[in-house]
Structure 1
Amino acid sequence: MSVSRDKILVVDDQRAVCYSLKRFLSSEGFHVETAISGEEALKKIESLRPDVVIMDVRMPELGGLEALAMIKESHSKVQVIMMTAYSTTEKAIEAMKLGAYDYLVKPFDNDELLRLIKDALRTRAMMEAVVSFDEWEESVSGEKIIGKSQEMLDIYKQLGRIAPTDASVLILGESGTGKELIARAVYHHSNRSNKPFLTINCAAIPEQLLESELFGYERGAFTGADFKRLGKFEQCSGGTIFLDEIGDMPLSIQAKLLRVLQDGRFQRLGGSETIETDVRIIAATNKNLESMVEENTFREDLYFRINVVAVRVPSLRERREDIRELVHYFIQKYNRVFKKEIKGLTSDTLKRLEEYSWPGNVRELENAVQKAMVLCKSDYLSIKCCEGLSMRAAENPSANLAEAVKNLAVLAFENGSNAIFQDLISRIERELIRKALDQTRGNQVQASRLLGISRNTLRKKLNIDG
C-alpha cells in the first residue's frame, strides 16, 4: 500500500463513480476529494490545491473540456487525467491538445489508473520542484545542483546562457552524474517553464512502443489500436521534451525525430495527416555519439541537430572537492526524511569518501550517505556507519593508478635516458593502444571510444608506430 499523501480531486457528475474512485484511491494511501460538477471542481481546486485531477469529459453545464481549459490557465502544473466513454474519444483527443496529461476510456482497469496517476505525479514533481544552480539562489521546495568546483562553475555559466533560449541541448555524462537534474534546470529557467515538461527514457521503452509513445497513432494502426491517441510531441506542444538515453534510440525513429527538429512536423503512426508541433528538445546520453556516428548506429544529421549546445557533466572523481558539500546536502535531505539530526561527518570518513572512485557517481554517493544515515547512531557519520557498504578505499583504482604513475616516473629517471619525457609518453601510448585493441578484438572504432580519442587520432598513432 502506498504511503503517499498526494492530493487527488475526482470530478464526475455520477456520484457512484466519485464514490468508487474515492474508496479505491483512498485505500492506496492518497488524499481524495470529489466534485460532481465543473463549477464545484474549480472551487475545490483553489482550496485543495490537488496534485492530480481525474475528470470526466462529459458533464452538464460546465463540461470537462471547459473546466480543463480554466484549470490549466490558473494552475498550469496541475496534471489532469480525463475520463471518457468510447463514443467520446475525439473529445479526449481535444482535451490532450488543451493540456490534459492523458485520458482513460471507461470502463478502465484500476492498475492502469494507478500507473497513470504515478506517472502524472512524477511529471508534476519535475515541473513543480524548481532546480536551482546559482549559489545565491535558494530553492525552498525544489532541488539544487551542488558543487563549487571549476567544472561545475563553468556549467552554471553555460546554463545561465542557454536556458532562456530555445536551442536544442545535448547533455553528456556518465550514469549517475545528474544529467536529468541539468535538464530540469534548463527547463525551469527557460521561457517555457509554465508549459509541459515530459520525459522519455529511450532505453526503457521497447522499439515498437517508442514510436507510438513519441508520435501517437491512428485507430487501426496496429493490433489493439482501437482508438486514436496523441503522442508526446503533440501533447507537449509549446513545452519541453527530455529525451533521456537518446543514444539507445533506434535508427528508424531517429529519422522521424530529425524531421521534428528540422521543421516541427511529423505524422502519427498509421496516419497521413501532417501534424505541426513546437517543442524544445533536451537530450542526454552516457554514450559516445561521435563514435556511434562513425559506426552508423546514430544518424550524423540528427547528431548535429541535437548538438546545438553540448553540456558535459563531469564524473564525481573529476570533482572530488565537491564531495564534502554534496555529503552535507544529502545529510540535510535525509535528516528530514528519517527525522534525524545528524550534524555532519568525521574527517576520516570524508577522507574515505574522497579516496573512493565512485563509479556510480553522485547517485552512488547519495545512496551511500542514505544507507550510512540509517545505520548511524551518533551525531556524525563515522567509518563505522559506513561498514557494510561496497565502498572501500582499498579498492580505489584511481589511487592505485596514481601510485603506479609515481613508480613509473622513478623508474624512467633511474633508466637514465636522454629523452625521458618523450620515451615514457610513447611507451605509455603504445601500451594503452595495444590494451584497447586487445579488449575490442581489433575494432578501431570501439578502441578509440575506450581511449577517449577520435578514430583519426588512433589511426595516426598506429601509422607512426608502424
Structure 2
Amino acid sequence: MKQEKKKIKETILVVDDEEGILEWLKIALEKEDYEVVTALSGEEALKIARKKYFPCVITDIKMAGMDGLQLLKKLKEEDPDIIVIIITAYGTFESAVEALRGGASDFITKPFRIGEITFRLKNVFERERLRRVNIFLKEKITKKEDDVIVGESKKMKELLDLVDKVAKTDATIMIYGETGTGKELIARRLHNKSYRKNEQIVTLNCSALPETLLESELFGYKKGAFTGAEHNKKGLFQIADGGTFFLDEVGEISSKIQVKLLRMLQFHEIVPLGDTKTVKVNVRLIGATNKNLEESVKKGEFREDLFYRLNVIPVYIPPLRERKGDIPLLVQRFVEKISKRLKINRKEFSSGAMNMLMDYNWPGNVRELENCVERSIILQDSEKITEGDISLIIHTDIPVKEEITLKDLEITAIREVIKKCSGDKIKAAKVLGIHPSTLYRKLKRLFSD
C-alpha cells in the first residue's frame, strides 16, 4: 500500500489589539486545520516569534504601540523568508502598498469573511511551495545526468532491488560503502523512488566542514548568535523540509552534533544556534559512512542511541573489485558523459586496455575508474586508448611486494601526481579527483607518520 506523506500543520501567529477579532480568527483558522497562536500587540508578537518558529504571521496594521508595519520590518529583519499578511481598514490603500514594499506577502481589507483569509493563506503558502520547487527543479536538471546508476552484476541488482523496496517507506536509511562506491547516487535513487520525490534532496558531507561551521549549516542560526551573524539564517534541515536530507560521512560528526541530530530524529525538531525556540521539520534522513559504526560505538566515539536511530535499514554498497563485470559498462558510460562534457570525439578502449582495467583492484572504486577514464581521454591524442596508456595512469608498473600496504600505494600515487603537476596541489587534487582540503588532510596524515 502506498504510504501517504505525513502532514504537519502550518503554524500561524495572528496579531490584533482587538481580543474579539483574535478569538474569532483563532477558532475559524483552527477549523481549517491550522495551528494558531495569538498576540494582542506587536511587542507581544515579536517576543512570541523569538521563542517559536512561525512560517506565517497575520497582523493588523493599526495597533497601539508597535504597529503592523513596524512589526513587519522587525520580523523580516530576523527571518527574510517569513510570510506576513497585513490586515488593513478600508480606505488605507497607501499603507497596504507600503506593507507590500516592506516585504508583506499579501494584504486583506476590513471587513472580510473568513473564507477570504483562508483563500489568501492557501495562495501564499502555495507560492512559497512553488518557489522552493522551482529551486529544486533547477538543481534536479543539473543533477539528472549524473544520477544514473550503472550495474548489471548480481550484487548490484540485489542492491538496487533492496533500494527500490525500502525507498517506498519513510524509514531512516544508513548507507555503508568504501570511498568512491557511489553512496550519494544510492541516496538520490532512494529519494527519487520515494513519495518525497517532488520535493528537494539536500546533501552535505560532514567531514568537509569544521564542527562550528557544520553545526550552523545543519541547524541554522539566530542573528547575533556569534560574530558575523548579522541576520537569521535557515539551516539545511529547514531547507530540506518536506524532502530528504543526505548526510555523508555521518560517522565523523562530533558528540555535540550527535546530540542535536538525535533530537531531530526523535522529535522532528531542531534548535538554531543562539536560539531557544524549536523549529519543526519534516525530513527523511539518509546517512552514509565508510566507517564501521558498530566499532565506533564500542570505542565510545559514536552514540549508541543515535546509531540505532540511524541504522533502521542498513544498505551495503559492494566495492568495485567485487563487481568487476560492471567495469566495461561503467567505462562506456563515462566515455559518453566525459566526451559530451568536454565536447570532444568519443575514444575507444582497446581490448588490452580493458583487460588491464578489469585486472586492477580499484582501491578508489568507481570514482577512481571515472578519473582514470577522464585522464585517458584528455591525455591521449589518438582515438584508441591502449594498454600502455592505461599503465601510465594506474601505475601497474609499480612492483608489488607482499609487504606493501595500501598506505604505501597511496603515498606513491600522490607523490607522482604532485610531481607531474609541478607541485601545484590544487591541480593535483583535481587530477586525483578529490577536494583540495581532502588532499591536504591526506598529506598531513600520510607524511607526518
In the superposition, the TM-score normalised over structure 2's length comes to 0.59
What displacement does 1:396 show? Answer: 6.5
Aligned pairs for 1:358-373 within 5 A: 358-373=362-377
Aligned match for 1:323, one of 324, 327, 334:
327
1:239 CA displacement: 1.0
Q: 1:377 to 1:122 in 2, by over 3 A?
A: farther
Bigger shift: residues 251-260 or 378-387: 378-387
Distance in 1 between residues matched to 2:296 and 2:316, nearest whole Å: 17
Q: 1:159 to 1:88 in 2, by over 3 A?
A: same
Task: Quickly say closer, same or farther: Cα 1:262–1:203, change in 2 above 3 A.
Answer: same
- What fraction of aligned residue pairs are identical, expressed as a percent? 40
Aligned-pair distance for 1:387? Answer: 4.9
Aligned equivalents of 1:263 and 1:123: distance in 2? 26
Identify the residue that residue 273 of structure 1 maps to in structure 2: 277
Task: Give per-residue Cα distances to partners, 1:280-302, cap 9 Å, x unaligned.
Answer: 00111111101000011111111
Q: Does the residue aligned with 2:209 lie in a helix, a strand or coil?
A: coil
The aligned runs of 1:419-430 (5 Å cut-off) are none
Deviation at residue 126 of structure 1 after TM alignment: 5.3
Q: Does 1:237 align with 2:241?
A: yes
Distance 1:295 1:126 in 2: 39
Contact 2:79 2:233 in 1 (8 A): no
> One-letter code of the match for 1:210?
L
Tell me the residue number matched to 2:89. Answer: none
Q: Matches of 2:381 and 2:365 in 1, distance apart?
A: 26
Separation (CA, whole Å) in 1 of partners of 2:139 and 2:161: 22
From 302, 307, 321, give the equivalent of 1:303: 307
- Give, in whole Å, the separation in 2 of the partners of 1:122 and 1:91: 19
Give the 3-state SS of the residue equivalent to 1:186 in structure 2. Answer: helix
Q: Closer, same or farther in 2 for the Cα pair 1:91/1:211, shift >3 Å?
A: closer
Structure 1 residue ranges without an equivalent (≥5)? 1-64, 67-84, 97-119, 132-140, 402-466
Shift of 1:339: 3.1
SS of the residue corresponding to residue 392 of structure 2 reads: coil
User: In terms of mean alpha carbon deviation, does 388-397 or 345-354 score higher?
Assistant: 388-397
Residue 253 of structure 1: how far off its partner (Å): 0.7
The yes-or-no answer on 1:128 pairing with 2:116 is no
Question: Structure 2 vs 1, CA of residues 314 and 340 (structure 1 numbering), >3 Å: closer, same or farther?
Answer: same
Does the Cα contact within 8 Å between 1:201 and 1:243 map onto a contact in 2?
Answer: yes
Among 219, 222, 246, the alignment partner of 1:218 is 222
Report Cα offsets for 1:294-319 as digits up to 9, x if no partner.
01111111111111111111111111
Displacement of 1:358 in angstroms is: 0.9
Partners of 2:341 and 2:401 in 1: CA distance? 33
- In the alignment, what sits opposite 2:250? 246
Q: Describe the superposition over 1:338-389 as per-residue Cα deviations: whole angstroms up to 9, x where unpaired.
A: 3333353211111111111111111110010111112333333212332531
Q: Is the 8 A contact 1:356 1:391 kept in 2?
A: no
Match of 1:255 among 251, 254, 259: 259
CA gap of 1:261–1:147, structure 2 versus 1, over 3 A, is same
1:87-137 Cα offsets, whole Å, 9 max, x none, are 8434513279xxxxxxxxxxxxxxxxxxxxxxx999766533576xxxxxx
Larger RCO (CA within 8 A; separation ≥ 6): 2
| Cα distance, 1:267–1:315 mapped onto 2, change above 3 Å | same
- Among 332, 342, 346, the alignment partner of 1:342 is 346
Whether the 8 Å contact between 1:342 and 1:381 is mirrored in structure 2 is no
Q: Does residue 162 in structure 1 map to residue 175 in structure 2?
A: no
Pair 224,384 (structure 1): closer, same or farther in 2 beyond 3 Å: same
> Which residues of 2 match residues 161-180 of structure 1 at below 5 A?
161-180=165-184
Between the two proteins, the alignment pairs up a number of residues equal to 287
| Equivalent position amino acid for 1:313 in 2 | I
Is 2:349–2:385's contact at 8 Å kept on the other side of the alignment? yes
- Partners of 1:196 and 1:160 in 2: CA distance: 18
Task: Output aligned runs, 1:45-60, within 5 Å.
Answer: none
- Looking at structure 2, the residues matched to 269 and 178 of structure 1 have their Cα atoms a distance apart, in angstroms, of 32
State the superposition RMSD in angstroms.
Answer: 3.1
CA offset digits 1:214-250 (Å, max 9, x no partner): 1112222222223222211122211111101101111
Residue in 1 that maps onto 2:77: 89
Paired with 1:248 and 1:326, the residues of 2 have a C-alpha distance of 30
1:327–1:377: structure 2 CA closer, same or farther, 3 Å change rule? same
CA distance in structure 2 between the partners assigned to 1:170 and 1:87 by the alignment: 38
The aligned runs of 1:45-124 (5 Å cut-off) are 88-90=76-78, 92-94=80-82
Match of 1:354 among 358, 371, 375: 358
**Counterpart AA for 1:224:** G
- Matching residue's letter, 1:260: M
For 1:384, which of 374, 388, 396 is the aligned residue? 388
Residue number in structure 2 paired with 1:186: 190
Normalised to the residue count of structure 1, the TM-score between the two structures is 0.56
Q: Is the 8 A contact 1:355 1:393 kept in 2?
A: no
Which of 149, 152, 157 in structure 2 is aligned with 1:153?
Answer: 157
CA distance 1:143–1:209, shift in 2 (3 Å) = closer
Compared CA separation, residues 123 and 244, structure 1 to 2 (3 A): farther
What secondary structure is seen at the aligned counterpart in 2 of 1:93? coil
Is the aligned partner of 1:375 residue 2:388? no
Measure, in 2, the Cα distance between the counterparts of 1:328 and 1:321.
13
**CA separation of 1:126 and 1:187: change in aligned 2, threshold 3 A:** farther
| SS of corresponding position for 2:151 | coil
> For the residues of structure 1 that align with 2:236 and 2:329, how far apart are their CA atoms?
37
Aligned mate of 1:144, from 144, 148, 164: 148
Contact 2:75 2:82 in 1 (8 A): no
1:206 to 207, 210, 226: 210
Whether contact under 8 Å (1:323, 1:353) holds in the other structure is yes
In structure 1, give the amino acid aligned to 2:191. Answer: Y
CA contact (8 A) 1:169 1:308 kept: yes
Q: Helix, strand or coil for the counterpart of 2:279?
A: strand
Could you list the per-position Cα deviations for residues 142-173 of structure 1 after superposition, in whole angstroms to 9, with x for gaps in the alignment? 53111111110111101110112211111111
